[in-house]
Structure 1
């Protein structure tokens, strides 16, 4: 069985996209990557999708009059393919109500900080500049705000003496590549329940009916 039908949105290197593809291929994720949505057709993630045999929806935002205009096209494609979960994995664009409303509770994002600290862009740099001793990774639902949705899971990453943005980013991204597929599998297994701002993750074998 194909399991959960997933679309991944990404704008850059695609390491988190690759982690999801690998998890599916290794039998660790009960789902199928139905589509990559990318706002930068030249981004390396597109090559990863082609290599993995994943269909792509590529667009250039400047060719549309508004975010809502291109999101309307994206929504139609998601619905046509029966996509059940949208995963934002390094997608560098604000999502509007056009996508958030029909996919609320079925759209998640991975962020390179321990939210609510350091939302928005450059979360790794923000943490370094602030001088925290511990930062990390958050997987959360998307609610239309700036990294403000209910938190599914977090993983701490220690800031080491002498870290710069590049060295810390290596450990942050490694944590992302482990945590994101794990959270998607929890959702695929029916273990995640959204209750207001609280997210309840049941134990394996005890998923809510």
Structure 2
């Protein structure tokens, strides 16, 4: 059984979808802990599902590296096989990425390498493209630059707002994440050869 730690910053909609998938007895992965870089609303999902959680507030540390060291200590307690960044809006320090690589994955609301960074949906709209997408990648020490594990196109409709487009991307992102975690757990996806 693949053990998974999920790191969040916000509402945790991808986290909730993963928790619901993992609740099924035939799902080959279990979420063992949820962590956040702030007092995130999504921690309520962990509580609802009876999953332990922790918070390592970014602003409580003088440097990103010090924050990363404490985050690493918290993760070490649970020894997860896989770390899922699910809306974590912080770049992990390179030392933490190196420690767990390639067993850290991330979701992104764009068809990478198109529109990396924190504003993928807004950037897609601003560029005037007719389609964008969702991706799941292996985390490296760049910004949304790691090997792509799964992705799917999502059309941009005339008159789309950032919110409306993002709401259409989210279900695709959730499905891809669940499929990738399942694939890693069953061995259909090998992170070592993907990275």
1:29-48, aligned counterparts within 5 Å? 29-41=27-39, 43-48=40-45
CA distance in 1, matches of 2:27, 2:94: 28
Q: Residue in 2 aligned with 1:116?
A: 113
* Contact 2:56 2:71 survives alignment (8 Å): no
Structure 1 residue 164: deviation in Å? 1.0
Q: Residue in 1 aligned with 2:11?
A: 13
Structure 1 residue 56: deviation in Å? 1.0
CA distance in 2, matches of 1:107, 1:184: 11
* Contact 1:10 1:90 survives alignment (8 Å): yes
Moved over 6 A (4+): none
Structure 1 residue 57: deviation in Å? 1.3
Q: Does 1:139 align with 2:136?
A: yes
* Contact 1:28 1:185 survives alignment (8 Å): no
Match of 2:184 among 152, 176, 187: 187
CA distance in 2, matches of 1:12, 1:34: 19
Q: Residue in 1 aligned with 2:123?
A: 126
Q: Which runs of 5+ in 2 are unaligned?
A: none
Q: Which runs of 5+ in 1 are unaligned?
A: 201-209
Structure 1 residue 28: deviation in Å? 5.4
Partner SS for 1:44: coil
1:153-172, aligned counterparts within 5 Å? 153-172=150-169
Partner SS for 2:35: strand
**After superposition, what is the alpha-carbon deviation per residue over 1:31-69, rounded to whole angstroms, capped at 9, x for unaligned?**
11111110121x210111111111111122111121111
Using the size of structure 2 for normalisation, the TM-score is: 0.95
Q: Does 1:97 align with 2:94?
A: yes
Structure 1 residue 137: deviation in Å? 0.3
Structure 1 residue 194: deviation in Å? 4.2
Structure 1 residue 29: deviation in Å? 2.9
Q: Residue in 1 aligned with 2:145?
A: 148
Using the size of structure 1 for normalisation, the TM-score is: 0.89
* Contact 1:29 1:184 survives alignment (8 Å): no
Q: Does 1:55 align with 2:45?
A: no
* Contact 2:102 2:192 survives alignment (8 Å): no
